[in-house]
Amino acid sequence: MKFRRLIAALALGSPLVVASETQLEHVIVSATQQDTGQLELPLSVSLLTRDDLLSVLHVHPNEVFQRVPGAWISRGNGQESLTALRSPVLTGPGSCGAFFMAADGISLRAPGFCNVNQLFDANTEQAGRIEVLKGPGTALYGSGAMHGLVNVITPAPSDTLTHRIGVEAGPHDYRRGRYLLSNTVGRHGFLVTGNVASDGGYKRSSGFDQYKANLRHRYDGDRFSVDSILALTDLDQDTSGFITGFEAYRDSDRKKENPNPEAYRKADSQRFQSTLTLELDEFSQLVFTPYWRDNDMEFLQHFLPWQPVEENGHESFGINSKYYREGSWLKSVSGIDLESTDGWLRETQDEPFSPNQPAGVHYDYQVDALLAAVWTQLSWDLAPQLTLSAGARFEYTEYDYDNRTGDGPACDPSASACRFFRPPDREDDFENWSLNISALWDVMPGHAMFLRAARGFRAPQTTELYRLQGNQSVADLDSESLDSIEIGGRGAYRGFSYEVGLYYFEKDDVIFQDANRFNISGASTLHYGLDLGLRWQLTDSLDLALDASFAQHEYDSDIDLLGTSGSIEGNAIDTAPEHFGSARVGWNFLPRYRAELEWVHMGEYYLEPDNQHEYEGHDLVNLRVTGAWRQFDLGIRATNITDQDYAERADFGFGSYRYFVGEPRSFYFEVGYRFAP
> pLDDT at position 62, please?
97
Q: Sort 12 into a burial class: Cβ within 10 Å, 0-12 / 13-18 / 19+.
A: exposed
Q: Work out the average pLDDT over 155-178.
A: 97
> pLDDT at position 34, please?
60
- Residue 565: pLDDT band (50, 70, 90) is confident
Distance separating alpha carbons of residues 367 and 398, to the nearest angstrom: 10
Mean pLDDT of the chain: 92
Percent helix, strand, coil in the chain, to 5, is: 5, 60, 35
Q: Work out the average pLDDT over 254-270.
A: 95
Q: State the fold for domain 2-674.
A: Maltoporin; Chain A (2.40.170)
pLDDT of 97 above 80: yes
Single-letter code of the amino acid located at 559: I
pLDDT of 21 above 50: no
b/e sequence 396-434, b meaning 16+ C-beta within 10 Å: ebbbebebeeeebbbbeeebeebbbbbbeeeebebebeb
pLDDT of 7 above 80: no
> pLDDT at position 91, please?
85
> pLDDT at position 665, please?
97
Q: Does an H or E element contain 12, and which?
A: helix 2-12
> pLDDT at position 138, please?
92
Q: Does an H or E element contain 481, and which?
A: strand 480-493
Per residue in 50-73, pLDDT (tens digit) is: 999 999 999 999 999 999 999 999
> pLDDT at position 8, please?
32
Distance separating alpha carbons of residues 130 and 281, to the nearest angstrom: 31
- Residue 26: pLDDT band (50, 70, 90) is low
Q: Work out the average pLDDT over 662-666.
A: 96
> pLDDT at position 498, please?
95
> pLDDT at position 93, please?
76
pLDDT of 424 above 70: yes
Q: Does an H or E element contain 55, and which?
A: helix 50-56
Per residue in 626-638, pLDDT (tens digit) is: 999 999 999 999 9
Per residue in 497-509, pLDDT (tens digit) is: 999 999 999 999 9
Per residue in 470-493, pLDDT (tens digit) is: 889 999 999 999 999 999 999 999
Distance separating alpha carbons of residues 526 and 149, to the nearest angstrom: 19
Q: Coil, strand or helix: which one is 292?
A: strand
In sign, the C-alpha dihedral spanning 35, 37, 38, 40 is negative
Q: Work out the average pLDDT over 525-529.
A: 98
Q: Work out the average pLDDT over 544-559.
A: 96
Single-letter code of the amino acid located at 306: W
Distance separating alpha carbons of residues 314 and 402, to the nearest angstrom: 14
> pLDDT at position 95, please?
85
**Four-point Cα dihedral 42, 497, 384, 330, nearest 10:** -30
φ/ψ of residue 412, rounded to 5: -60, 145
> pLDDT at position 12, please?
30
> Which string of DSSP letters, residue by residue, matches 239-281?
PP--EESTTGGG-TTTTT--S-TT-EEEEEEEEEEEEEEEEEE
- Residue 10: pLDDT band (50, 70, 90) is very low
Give me the percent of the chain exceeding a pLDDT of 90: 87
Give me the percent of the chain exceeding a pLDDT of 70: 95
> pLDDT at position 561, please?
83
> pLDDT at position 677, please?
80
Per residue in 431-477, pLDDT (tens digit) is: 999 999 999 999 999 999 999 999 999 999 999 999 999 889 999 99
> Which string of DSSP letters, residue by residue, matches 497-522?
EEEEEEEEEEEEEEEEEBTT--EEEE
Alpha carbon distances (Å) from 517 to 25, 105, 473:
50, 36, 12
b/e sequence 46-72, b meaning 16+ C-beta within 10 Å: bbbeeebbebbbbbbbbbbbbbbbbbb
Per residue in 358-392, pLDDT (tens digit) is: 999 999 999 999 999 999 999 999 998 999 999 99
Q: Work out the average pLDDT over 337-354.
A: 96
pLDDT of 154 above 70: yes
> pLDDT at position 318, please?
98
Tell me how far the alpha carbon of residue 606 is from its chain's centroid.
22
User: Which of these ranges, 283-287, 309-313, 467-471, 594-598, has the smallest mean pLDDT?
Assistant: 467-471
